[in-house]
Amino acid sequence: MSFPIYRPRRLRKNDTIRKMVRETSLSPSDLILPLFVTYGKNVKKEIKSMPGIFQMSIDNIRKEAKEISSLGIPSVILFGIPEHKDEIGSSANDPHGPVQEAIKAIKDKAPEIMVITDVCMCEYTSHGHCGIIKNKDVDNDATLELLCEEALSHAEAGADMVAPSDMMDGRIGAIRDTLDENGYSNLPIMSYAAKYASAFYGPFRDAAESTPKFGDRRSYQMDPGNSDEALREVALDIEEGADIVMVKPALPYLDIIYRIKESFGYPVAAYNVSGEYSIIKAAAERDWIDGQRAMLESLVSIKRAGADLILTYFAKEAAKALIRG
């Protein structure tokens, strides 16, 4: 078809027809809200580099749960900030730790919410790395045991899904075996399968208080220049028992989301990370962009690339905008 027979503008002339022919639509049910859970009572501490996002104690998490559910957001993912940290992150599997207690509180207040838990050591170690340190690097195999203990403690607390984010080799298989052996064979795993060593994580490290005390995480997170490697990582995690595979970050890696969805036809999640959130918030605050439009356009682009689920700090704000229409 060619002009003048085909005039694409015919289907763009008003909002109604644009909605009727829209190829990709966003819904609150596509979204997962990350929550930062800390110790204490009546804590709601705004994260300086993430406007509108807070560290919250269990009592405030409980209040938050009902609002999240009322907006049609089906799921949250929990990150814990413990009172005490040590070299081996021993509080990660504390049955009364922030994450474990938050699971119970949310399931009590809003049982319809699917509670996902991040499984990693970086929030719990005094050095800020994602596992046991030996010779100034993370020891892969020694870390697997700790990750399994943490994941099991989340399952025992009532988590609906666990999400290992550490990027240790073999961790999906190890966690799957541990869950199966302890009666949790029906508990799904969402793997951070293609997690890149990214500059866009900066604000998260403020939120989770998990900045490495030395070095960086490039010996275990992926090189930003690699695409084929992401497919190999995903294939390994699926083979080991992952039920959902994730790409993190999202916006700089839309090509990776697309390749994974096209290659595997598997449920794909994408993490719209803290830096992506804060860039839009900072620009909108200065009136450089329309913050709401930029937010929704970003989220639609992630879904259009192939993501079935989007983890985003915009979840509540986006849900409200979508409800308003």
246-264 pLDDT per residue, tens: 999 999 999 999 999 999 9
Q: What is the pTM of this model?
A: 0.96
What dihedral do alpha carbons 299, 302, 306, 307 form, nearest 10°? Answer: -70
Where does the pLDDT of residue 295 fall: very low under 50, low under 70, confident under 90, or very high at 90 and above? very high
Radius of gyration for the alpha carbons in the chain, expressed in angstroms and rounded? 20
Specify the CATH class of 25-324 in words: alpha beta
Residues 6+ apart with CB under 8 A from 306: 257, 258, 260, 261, 262, 268
| Res 213 pLDDT > 80 | no
User: What is the per-residue pLDDT for 216?
Assistant: 80
d(CA 124, CA 126): 7
User: What is the per-residue pLDDT for 312?
Assistant: 98
User: What is the per-residue pLDDT for 315?
Assistant: 98
User: What is the per-residue pLDDT for 39?
Assistant: 94
Q: Per-domain residue ranges for the chain? A: 25-324
The count of C-alpha atoms lying within 13 angstroms of the C-alpha of 70, restricted to the half-sphere facing its C-beta, is 8
User: What is the per-residue pLDDT for 228?
Assistant: 98
User: What is the per-residue pLDDT for 209?
Assistant: 76
Where does the pLDDT of residue 9 fall: very low under 50, low under 70, confident under 90, or very high at 90 and above? very high
| Res 206 pLDDT > 90 | no
Q: Token pair of 2, please?
A: 């060619």
In the predicted model, what is the mean pLDDT of residues 82-108? Answer: 94
| Res 47 pLDDT > 80 | yes
Where does the pLDDT of residue 267 fall: very low under 50, low under 70, confident under 90, or very high at 90 and above? very high
Whether 45 sits among the annotated catalytic residues: the reply is no
User: What is the per-residue pLDDT for 51?
Assistant: 95
Q: How many CB atoms lie within 10 A of CB 7?
A: 10
In the predicted model, what is the mean pLDDT of residues 62-91? Answer: 95
- From the list 195, 281, 303, 316, the catalytic residue is 195
Tell me the percentage of the chain whose pLDDT exceeds 70.
100
- For residues 132 and 143, the answer to whether their CB atoms sit within 8 Å is yes
| Res 25 pLDDT > 90 | yes
Higher-pLDDT residue of 123, 308: 308
Q: Which residue has the tokens 């290992």?
A: 164
| Res 16 pLDDT > 90 | yes
In the predicted model, what is the mean pLDDT of residues 289-314? Answer: 98
In the predicted model, what is the mean pLDDT of residues 213-240? Answer: 93
| Res 40 pLDDT > 90 | yes
Tell me the percentage of the chain whose pLDDT exceeds 90.
87
In the predicted model, what is the mean pLDDT of residues 121-132? Answer: 88
d(CA 267, CA 29): 14
Weakest-pLDDT range from 53-62, 147-156, 207-216: 207-216
Secondary structure (DSSP) of 210-257: ---SSS-STTTSBPTT-SHHHHHHHHHHHHHT-SEEEEESSGGGHHHH
d(CA 75, CA 310): 10
Q: Which residue has the tokens 């697997």?
A: 144
Weakest-pLDDT range from 123-132, 173-182, 253-262: 123-132
- From the list 85, 248, 281, 316, the catalytic residue is 248
User: What is the per-residue pLDDT for 207?
Assistant: 81
Element (H, E) at 206: helix 202-208
In the predicted model, what is the mean pLDDT of residues 158-171? Answer: 96
Whether 136 sits among the annotated catalytic residues: the reply is no
d(CA 231, CA 237): 10
d(CA 142, CA 145): 6
In the predicted model, what is the mean pLDDT of residues 76-95? Answer: 93
Average pLDDT over all residues of the chain: 95
In the predicted model, what is the mean pLDDT of residues 142-147? Answer: 96
Buried b (16+ CB within 10 A) or exposed e, 97-134: bbbbbbbbbbbebbeebbbbbbbbbbbbbebbbbbbbe
User: What is the per-residue pLDDT for 130?
Assistant: 86
User: What is the per-residue pLDDT for 289?
Assistant: 98
d(CA 149, CA 174): 10
